[in-house]
Amino acid sequence: MADPAITVEGVRKKYGGKGGKVALDGLDLQVTRGTVHGVLGPNGAGKTTLVRILSTLLRPDAGRVEVAGRDVLTHAREVRFRIGLLGQHAALDEELGGRQNLEMFGRLYHLGTRHARVRADELLERFGLAGTGRKPVKQYSGGMRRRLDLAASLISEPEVLFLDEPTTGLDPRGRAEVWDSVRSLVGGGTTVLLTTQYLEEADQLADRIAVVDGGRVIADGTADQLKSLTGADRIDVTLRDADQLGAAVALLPVPEDAVTVDADRRLLSAPVTDRMTALSSVVRALEETGIEAEDIALRRPTLDEVFLHLTGDERASDPRVKEAV
Amino acid sequence: MSTYALTDSWTMTRRELAHWARQPVQLLVGLVFPVMLLLMFGYLVGGGRGVTGDYLDYLVPGMLALTMAFGLEGTLLAVTQDLNKGVIDRFRSMPMTNGAVLVGRSIADMLQSALGLAVLIGVAYALGWRAHGSPGGFLGAVGLLLFFRFAMLWIGIHLAMVAGKPELVTAVQILVWPVGFLSNAFATPETMPGWLGTVVEWNPMSHTATAVRDLFGAPGGAPGHTWAAIVWPLALLAVFFPLAVRRFGRLSK
């Protein structure tokens, strides 16, 4: 990684003085130019604090942060010319219309009045907002607002784009709209740092994923690399009859406490080392005992299994993680 | 850089003007409210004394000063709302001039206050009130009023940034009433108990009202007060302007 788009070294941030809450506890991260880097973590992991520091909104207590090759503390203004920010809450003037918003931001990026107008029309067209006219943003739907917000963060054609939980609070349709927009951006060579609580979102959009917990990066790699962190592939067996789940646990070629049982889906899941041996032994054992299976599948672990594995099992009770599953 | 400071400030001013265009009723209510107060005090309260030309002469400068003082609420509310909206984060993550947000706010608020003065003076004129001083004195009076408003503006900006919560706005909206009324806007301090008269005489707003009365050639004016109507707002600005600017720069801590 000769010339990373984002470098974060040993960044610390504590809120509220003595006895305050530690948000970032020596966080390190490098993001390669032209890639999408997901930052995945539960609520309170420090994701938003990281984005606010990267986008020059917040000063770190310690550590070094460079964005687009410039130090965010000493060259904040130069950094601001090169970044776009999509925060968790819409950063728009709600009283004004979409076009008015984009023109205003364009002028503040010093595009000049005429160019700002052209750029606003371009972006409205691109994000399917061309017909919104003078309607104030406060009357927009959640998805429209998010798209306009994204358009606003792209006015200056930023080298680096920060997306802080871009789909939180959106319905599935709004989420799909935002995902499509992000995918189309990546083709243009923009570097994207994307925070999310949704494993699926990171899996869908990111080239690499940093898992953040307690203000540090606890794992960083491609989705495949992270999946291999939990070690083994898994075998999933779906039974026809939920009453036979207990009996079937003993048939899997692993210690019983390694098997997860999902009674609702009549599903047993267990890590395996040798895929083919495991598959044939399970099939044989099912035939011998006469337990009927609806489906048997070998698969890589899902990101949520990785996530739970990395952050500790107490997170399993976090409803947001469940929601993302 | 410095040319951008101007264009950025103008862009932010245009933003405020666009808000007016979007919410004309809000602007209108802001303009009508002081007129309502003038009518109430002129006819309901002043009626008890008989609405002589003299009381209007006394009341109008007081109402003008009070309108300027109440402008603090509007500034406080607008800045608080801005700070609690996500849009301020976008402004701050952009390469725009830092203070442009505040400059835009100041210009828009001063424009609104100038408009407010014009409306109130127009209504007073229709009621039969006349300025008796020279045209120069008239302009000087308007200048003093707007200068006082400018001091209120920066107090408002500072308060909004210190507390930054909508709850504070409500508290201040209630508090401006006693502070505004503990002045010589409606009655001379001589008619009040001694301690109250002292408080009223110290109220910066009273100095502005007295100076304006003098320049309008109205009763209750005192020639020496013009300096006080300059010094008081100046002192307030000397405290609150640097505090507010520093606070704004520190938002990123």
Complex ipTM: 0.84
Per-residue pLDDT averaged across A65-85, rounded?
A: 94
What is the distance in angstroms between the Cα of B111 and the nearest Cα belonging to chain A?
20
* Chain A residue set in contact with B, beta carbons under 8 Å: 55-59, 77-78, 80-81, 83, 85, 87, 89-96, 100, 104-105, 107-110, 136, 152-153
* Chain B residue set in contact with A, beta carbons under 8 Å: 4, 7-8, 11, 14-15, 18-19, 22-23, 85-96, 100, 252-253
Nearest partner of A266 among A291, A232, A298, A301, judged by Cα: A291
What pLDDT shows up at residue A173? 84
What is the distance in angstroms between the Cα of A54 and the nearest Cα belonging to chain B?
10
pLDDT digits (tens, 9 = 90+) for A231-259: 678 888 998 888 888 888 888 888 888 88
Residue whose token pair is 């504590």: A14
Positions in chain B short of pLDDT 70 = 1-2, 46-53, 251-253
What pLDDT shows up at residue A316? 43
Q: Is B78 within 8 Å of B105 (Cβ atoms)?
A: yes
pLDDT digits (tens, 9 = 90+) for A84-130: 999 888 899 999 999 999 999 999 999 999 999 999 999 999 888 99
Tell me the pLDDT band of A24, cut-offs 50, 70 and 90: very high
Q: A59 contacts in B (CB within 8 Å)? A: 252-253
Residue A308 in this model has a pLDDT that exceeds 80? no
Q: A107 contacts in B (CB within 8 Å)? A: 7, 11
Provide, for chain B, the percentages of residues in helix, strand and coil under a 3-state DSSP scheme, each rounded to the nearest 5. Answer: 85, 0, 15
Residue A2 in this model has a pLDDT that exceeds 70? no
How high is the mean pLDDT of chain A?
87
What pLDDT shows up at residue A315? 42
| Cβ-nearest to B94 among A94, A108, A136 | A108
Let me know if B188 is exposed, middle or buried by CB neighbors in 10 A (0-12, 13-18, 19+): middle
Copy the structure tokens of residue B10. 């103008």
pLDDT digits (tens, 9 = 90+) for A276-302: 888 888 899 888 888 888 899 888 877
Let me know if B193 is exposed, middle or buried by CB neighbors in 10 A (0-12, 13-18, 19+): exposed
Per-residue pLDDT averaged across A168-195, rounded?
A: 85
| Cβ-nearest to B18 among A94, A96, A108 | A96
What pLDDT shows up at residue A323? 37
What is the distance in angstroms between the Cα of A129 and the nearest Cα belonging to chain B?
19
Lowest mean pLDDT among A58-72, A154-168, B33-47: B33-47
Share of chain A above pLDDT 90, in %: 45
What pLDDT shows up at residue A319? 39
What pLDDT shows up at residue A299? 83
| Cβ-nearest to A55 among B7, B86, B93 | B93
Most B CBs within 10 Å: which of A52, A67, A95, as the mutation test of the B interface? A95
Element at A15 (helix H, strand E) = strand A6-15
pLDDT digits (tens, 9 = 90+) for B38-92: 988 887 776 555 445 578 888 899 999 999 999 999 899 888 988 888 888 899 8
Share of chain A above pLDDT 70, in %: 94
What is the distance in angstroms between the Cα of B20 and the nearest Cα belonging to chain A?
10
